[in-house]
Structure 1
Amino acid sequence: MRVLLASRNAKKLAELRRILAPALPELEVVGLDDVTPYPEVPESGATFADNALIKAREGFQQTGLPTVADDSGLTVDALNGMPGVLSARWAGAHGDDEANLRLVLDQLGDVPDERLGAAFACAVAYVYEAGEIVTDGRMTGRLVRQPRGSNGFGYDPIFVPDGYEQTSAELEPSDKDEISHRGRALRALAEQLAAPSPTINPTRPAR
């Protein structure tokens, strides 16, 4: 069974394959680069779940393949929960990880270290003929002022999960999968898909 991940992020595709394979070995996960190109809709939702559903619905409509999409981001306590759904374009250009990371650090320049609490949040949507499934995950921790590590992407190099001294980008991928926001949301999805009667929501418009 082929499933589309509505993303061109190679690291995210590898992560999805790692997490879903043990529970659903029959799935072949492909990315947007593996299907006929189609116009991608803007991520205009107000929440992570809204944006995940927008992308998953569009992928299913355009390709006919069951489609998984996620939206995730960094929420910083001292920034009142921002950048949130704007995480990927916090510095203006979508997907400029270095610029986004540096802007967050600049904005926290006068904030004491003890107030650098943060969390990663993720929503995963799965859209197929029977309806829709939405799951979520969260990873709490704190920020550091100097990027460390090369195993992650986005804000991983400045995020230290609770209970760890390494940043998310210093953790081995398998260790990160166990605790990450996306790992938790994807495992919840895998459990739903493997269940005899998954909890399916009827198709509804995103806000």
Structure 2
Amino acid sequence: MTQRLVLASNNAGKLKEFGEMLAPIGFEVHAQGEFNVLEAEEPHPTFIENALAKARHAARITGLPSLADDSGVCALALGGAPGVYSARYAGEPKSDSRNNRKLVEDLAAHADKSAYYYCVLVFVRHADDPQPVIAEGRWNGEIIAAPRGQGGFGYDPHFLLPALGKTAAELSAEEKNRLSHRGQALRALVEKLR
């Protein structure tokens, strides 16, 4: 028997990826847009608080269990920035190219270009669930000035994986899902939900 689950996102890629991973353990994943759920505010300074706010928001409106993620890139030399502000690092409207340019410029004066992608997933059984299920993933790399690769999105063309000699944008979708912060968090969540 399958149970419906609302994903606190309308991202088609996430919907597909999460749906494939959660189907074997009995969940049918639906985007929040199917239920006319608008995006929740993300006013918090931490990934976990924002993910929890999004999950509770979707669960409250739909009455269904909900799953939300919050993720971003954190540069060590910048004290973890852009962090929770990754999507809007260069301001509104959101722009991957402007965000990448700002990150490269902000790191230019620093010798340390190390960074990591971080993802937290929060699953709530209902809006007021006192024990949300939380899983996280971290993917280490470094920021390079010149973009490489055509795949991925966001900071991927500038996110180098030194051990592979490739950026995240140069990986196949399968490689990225296997290695990435989101893939790690999703596999950890599946284990907890089993």
TM-score (norm 1): 0.84
Between the two proteins, what is the percent identity of the paired residues?
Answer: 42
| 8 A contact 2:32–2:38 mirrored in 1 | no
Aligned length: 189
User: What whole-Å deviation, never above 9, does each CA across 1:26-55 have from its counterpart, x for those lacking one?
Assistant: 3221112322x2343310112111000000
Which 4+ residue blocks in structure 1 deviate beyond 6 angstroms? none
Partners of 2:116 and 2:193 lie apart in 1 by 27
- Which residue of the partner structure matches residue 4 of structure 2? 2
User: What whole-Å deviation, never above 9, does each CA across 1:89-134 have from its counterpart, x for those lacking one?
Assistant: 111126422221111112223334xx21110111100011464111
Matched, 1:140 2:140: yes
Unaligned segments of structure 2, at least 5 residues:
none
- Per residue, is there more helix in 1 or in 2? 2
| 8 A contact 1:149–1:170 mirrored in 2 | yes
| 8 A contact 1:2–1:30 mirrored in 2 | yes
| 8 A contact 1:77–1:117 mirrored in 2 | yes
Partners of 1:162 and 1:136 lie apart in 2 by 22
Partners of 1:134 and 1:12 lie apart in 2 by 17
Quote the RMSD (CA, aligned, Å): 1.7
- Which residue of the partner structure matches residue 72 of structure 1? 71
Partners of 1:46 and 1:164 lie apart in 2 by 32
Partners of 1:94 and 1:187 lie apart in 2 by 32
Distance 1:30 1:88, change over 3 A: same
Match of 1:20 among 19, 22, 30: 22
- Which residue of the partner structure matches residue 124 of structure 2? 127
Cα deviation, residue 17, structure 1 = 2.6
Give matches, 1:3-152, under 5 Å: 3-21=5-23, 23-24=24-25, 26-35=26-35, 37-93=36-92, 95-112=94-111, 115-129=112-126, 131-152=131-152
* SS at 2:137 equivalent: strand
Distance 1:191 1:97, change over 3 A: same
Unaligned segments of structure 1, at least 5 residues:
195-207
TM-score (norm 2): 0.89
Cα deviation, residue 15, structure 1 = 2.5
